Amino acid sequence: MACLEVDGHKAMSAGNARDALELASRRSFDLAFVDLFLGSDSGIDLLPRLIADSPWMKVVVITAYASVDTAIESMKRGAVDYLPKPFTPVQVGVITDRVGERRALEQKLAGLQEVLGRTAPASDFDSTSPSMQRAINLARQVASSDATVLIRGESGTGKGVLARAIHAWSHRADKPFAVVACPALSADLLASELFGHVKGAFTGAVRDNPGRIAASNAGTLFLDEIGDLPTSLQPKLLRFVQDRQYERVGDHMTRDADVRVIAATNINLEDAVAAGRFREDLFYRLNVIQIEIPPLRERPDDVASLAEHLLADFARQRPGSPLSFSPQATAALLAYHWPGNVRELRNVIERAMILCRSGRVEAEHLLLSPAATNASPRIGDPVPMEQVEKLHMQGVISAAPSIEAAAKILDMDTVTLWRRRKKYGI
């Protein structure tokens, strides 16, 4: 333990299996050295229990009774290495460095997979708009701190993209970035997704689940659409944001986590607080640094440049000559209101690229009808059904006192409504 601390690592010790499990349940560790003989306990039996509770943890077995059989059995139980006694600080350092490199690669790979699966092109943030430039500059400025950030803006403006950018610009960039979509699950499932659960906590809990908080330890947790967080979970989240402590569902063990929190919302949280749908103390805890992303309609000068960037990005995916917009297509893009913001623009450009069979995107490839551009369509107008549904949902949501009330009026559950809102950029 002394040689680990000399090398700059934080190290803790436990004298038996029970203490080791309790310590690992309260704190997150990247590496554990486990002796095969722990008094009356077996180190080999401890291995799978440690790894089940902390799947990312690497375990190195140490023993004075080295043999091929014990080495093989240790590896079968999940150990990554085997260190026979007596050993030197140099040997410990070599193993520690090797495990550290492996953990760093795993975390970088997870980050790259997250980026490839979710991140939009960097051109989303190319802007000549002063308000957008202020938002980006503030994001870069606060990225180096661990302050909680609240990103506000309409659906489709790029709140999730900015959250990932803040993580990428921070000292946590090589650590995990976890996303929890607050409206996507019921309150019970969301609690399990966020805080984790223990085996047997509820019907269907056939194994332990560490949860997103544990999975993002030392990294960043992004809470998307925090305004839709069920009221029953808000006290638990408040405690975590304040103290970085929580309990898994079905477990009374208090756990700690070093996680930066970034939240995003497309609703007015002050109104939600006044209506009793959102806790005021949680709002203030989340609103340490507030970043407002302006809607695309308030920065029309960005539309053409964003469209060009997006078209170039999509064009790389298909062989042939480069694509460009006709003057009529550019005029149609500039005339459109873009209620779905950058997300809608991206969808429109991707669709146009698919429909275009030449090197030039025309206005008809964009499928932006005059009714959608200049006025709301009426029943019977020659417009797609999805456009009518989108406008109807927008009207109901803006008039309803809550998302739950809007879902009831629209005769759908809140999860379905969330999926439709995401689809339409509402």
> Which of the pair, 401 or 173, is modelled with greater confidence?
173
CATH code, domain with 50: 3.40.50.2300
Q: What three-state secondary structure class fits 139?
A: helix
CATH (domain of 412): 1.10.10
My answer on whether 397 and 423 are in the same domain is: yes
b/e string for 410-422 if b means 16 or more Cβ within 10 A?
beeebeebbebbb
Give the separation between CA 172 and CA 145, rounded to whole angstroms: 10
Say which residues have a Cβ less than 8 Å from residue 168's Cβ, sequence separation at least 6. Answer: none
Look at residue 139 and tell me whether its pLDDT is greater than 90: yes
Residues 79 and 226 in one domain: no
For residue 181, tell me if it sits in a domain.
yes
**What's the pLDDT score for residue 119?**
46
- Choose the weakest-confidence range: 35-44, 206-215, 318-327, 411-420: 35-44
Which CATH number is 177's domain given? 3.40.50.300
| Residue 250 sits in the same domain as residue 284 | yes
Q: How confident is the model at residue 116 (pLDDT cuts 50, 70, 90)?
A: very low
Three-state secondary structure call for residue 396: helix
Confidence class for position 198, pLDDT limits 50, 70, 90: confident
Same domain for 319 and 254: no
* Residue 98 and residue 21 share a domain: yes
Q: Which domain holds residue 57?
A: 2-112
pLDDT at 132 over 60: yes
Q: Is residue 373 part of a domain?
A: no
Percent of all residues in the chain with a pLDDT value above 70, rounded to a whole number: 85
Average pLDDT, rounded, for the chain: 83
Are 329 and 362 in contact by the 8 Å Cβ rule? The answer is yes
Entry pTM: 0.65
Do 96 and 59 touch, CB atoms closer than 8 A?
no
Extract the tokens encoding 102.
Answer: 């492996």
Give the number of other Cβ atoms within 10 Å of residue 112's Cβ. 11
Do 61 and 166 lie in one domain? The reply is no
- CB proximity list for 218: less than 8 A, separation 6 or greater: 28, 172, 175, 176, 258, 259
pLDDT at 6: 66
Our CA angle for 306, 312, 317, nearest 5°, is: 135
Band the pLDDT of 109: cuts 50, 70, 90.
low
- Return d(Cα 14, Cα 20) in angstroms, integer: 5
Give backbone dihedrals phi and psi of 33, rounded to 5 degrees, phi first: -95, 120
Does residue 289 lie in a domain region? yes
- Are 215 and 155 found together in one domain? yes
Residue type at 53? D
Q: 403 and 288, same structural domain?
A: no
Provide the domain count of the chain.
4
324 belongs to a structural domain: yes
Q: Which of 368, 390, 417 is the last residue of a domain?
A: 368
Would you state the pLDDT for residue 150? 97
Are 170 and 243 found together in one domain?
yes
The verdict on 82 and 93 lying in the same domain is yes
Q: pLDDT for 40-63, tens place per residue? A: 677 777 877 777 767 777 888 887
pLDDT value of residue 65 = 66
- Model pLDDT for residues 67-83, shown as the tens digit of each residue: 667 767 777 777 878 77
Q: Coil, strand, or helix at residue 37? A: strand
Residue 15 pLDDT greater than 60, yes or no: yes
